[in-house]
Amino acid sequence: MSSALLPFTLLPVSKPSRIGYTKAIRRLTQATALGLLSGVMVTLPVHSAEELYFDYGILGRQIPISSLETFAQDGTIDAELTPYLDKISPENRQELQRILSTPFVDLSNGIPEQIGDPFMLSQWLYSPIGEQVLAKMGQLIQTQGRQNGQQAIRAAMVLAAADPAGLSLINLLRFYPTAGVRLDLQQILALSDAIQANIETTESLVNVTIQQSVAVATTEPMLDYQSLPMLADVSQFDVVKQSLMLDDRERNRTYPADLYLPANLNAIPGPIPIIIFSHGYGDTRTNPESVAAATSIASNGFVVAVPEHIGSNKAYQHDLALGLGRESFDVMEFINRPLDIHFLLDTLEEKNKTEFQGRLQLERVGLAGHSFGGYTALATAGATVDIRLLEQQCELEADIVPDNVNIALLIQCRLLELTESPQVLEQLINGSLADGRIGSIFALSPLSNLFGENGMGKIQIPVVIVGGAYDIATPIVQEQLAAFQWLTTSERYFYLAENLSHTSALTRAVLDLVSPRSDIVDSFDASEKWLFNLMVTLLIAHAQVSLVGDEIYNPYLTAAYVENVSVEPIKLHLLRSLPTCFSTRQVDLKSCTESQRLTTF
């Protein structure tokens, strides 16, 4: 494979001109869009939806939207609302009024401000993921004629966001473009039941995981685990950064990557181990946490490579917001991300001949990744996609069941767009994206359900999977625990983090929602740095054992270690195998006796 390596440099005028250009484009397109919206609002009939219908099969009820508007405005409960709200406690009535009248961006800290921007909201709603969300919402919220409400919801949301009162539930009803809004209660209740089933299953599996981790910890060597140094804080070497621009001419793809390496490589005896980190969807290699982690790992004697996945990074999403694109990520990223890793390794092999005197350990490389980066790691390690499973879960007309109530499917279902290119899709199915140079995997909150049991079973190297109990973006049951259960490699580790969501921001939002008026968010803020250091420490320890073969780090790889050093509210627990009663699809808690919790398979 031909390759070219260029120094990563920017002309002094590039960045300012790019900023000026994008700002100008944004101002122009936003002004145009808002002007068009204003014109549309003027020309639309001056009426809003008049009735809210509740349909349950052939049965139904209806409420005048004017009654809801009055209640949202001043709390008045008229004769139409009395049968529904009269028996609700004053506190719940007040909360309902707040939810109806408050703009979405003010309802919770976890809701992005962009949802209140009519231009950016419109851009997202017309993206493939936005279309998926609207299609599913339209099954639940229909037009007066009982048609899918997808287009009506989109129009109402954008117009409500452009209104001075903002995008709220009551404003959404006001701008709904048909005379009636129909709620399909059967499907809404099915969705509610599926969500509740997922919550109960998650809680049950989390409890069983904690119990097994604690029980296993008591059987492991009695050491002073607290005295083990936090490897993230250990700095054996000064670190230097080397920026590259990779030019993969076969794919017509040019992308940057950064290397973090010990300043004095001669001080490291033997081969120099390598770890690659793959960033997540909408993220970037220059994320401060990624930089800090890479620097810390390099200071422990590793070369760390961090590529930029240009089709699914922060800049790509920024272009969508500016009106410069219509997708939040390029669907070819399912192929390009693993190939980015492959080409990076090819490039390092060339550099190893000229700059590193052959000392880079390229026959056994560590690969870590978060979220979409976790997918990248698993796919590059050999996991293959189960297209049939994905088609079943992504079928819009399918019954609502716990398996397809999974936000992570919004990204994974886009892979099915590649069915129009069979030769491209075949790479995801036949294992050709695997790179034999990968020697271990560390996947944090990975997208992984699309691999299925057969796909995950193809990985035969050490694998670490980390999942958060409160992860709403990649739910722990469908994404991480299922993937761990499907692994057949003997070296597999699953770390469960209590109270943790997908990102720090989501964790704060979820904790505030689950435990309002408590100090749990403050506790998380106080322990966030510790959690980051622990994750980096575990990554280093696993790499030292699996890549370097240094067994002195084995105590870090035990349930006893995380049980002893974990702190509230984000305590970590470790599984090496699952109890026989344990299933991600169905949990028979009565069969999960104490003895069975310690039985593995």
**pLDDT per position as a tens digit, 296-349:** 999 999 999 999 999 999 999 888 878 888 888 999 999 999 999 999 999 999
By the 10 Å C-beta count (0-12 exposed, 13-18 middle, 19+ buried), 288 is classed as: exposed
Residue 569 preceded by cis peptide, ω within 30: yes
User: Beta partners for 305?
Assistant: 259, 276
**Model pLDDT for residues 347-366, shown as the tens digit of each residue:** 999 999 999 999 999 999 99
CB atoms near residue 14 (< 10 Å): 10
Percent of the chain scoring above 90 in pLDDT: 68
pLDDT above 80 for 202: yes
Mean pLDDT of the 509-515 span = 86
**pLDDT band (50, 70, 90) for residue 48:** low
**pLDDT band (50, 70, 90) for residue 516:** confident
**pLDDT band (50, 70, 90) for residue 587:** very low
CB atoms near residue 521 (< 10 Å): 18
Pick the CATH number of 213-571 from 3.40.50.1820, 3.30.420.10, 2.30.30.60, 3.90.1260.10: 3.40.50.1820
CA-based Rg of the chain, rounded to a whole angstrom? 26
What is the layout of strands, in order, in the sheet containing 492-497? 4-7, 239-248, 253-262, 303-307, 274-278, 365-370, 438-444, 463-468, 492-497, 572-575
Q: Where in the chain is the domain with CATH 3.40.50.1820?
A: 213-571
By the 10 Å C-beta count (0-12 exposed, 13-18 middle, 19+ buried), 576 is classed as: middle
Query: pTM of the prediction?
Result: 0.86
Counted residue by residue, the chain has a size of 601
Mean pLDDT of the 205-213 span = 89
Q: Which residues contact 526 (CB under 8 A, 6 or more apart)?
A: none
Percent of the chain scoring above 70 in pLDDT: 88
Cβ atoms of 312 and 281 within 8 Å: the answer is: yes
Most confident of 195-204, 513-522, 568-577: 568-577
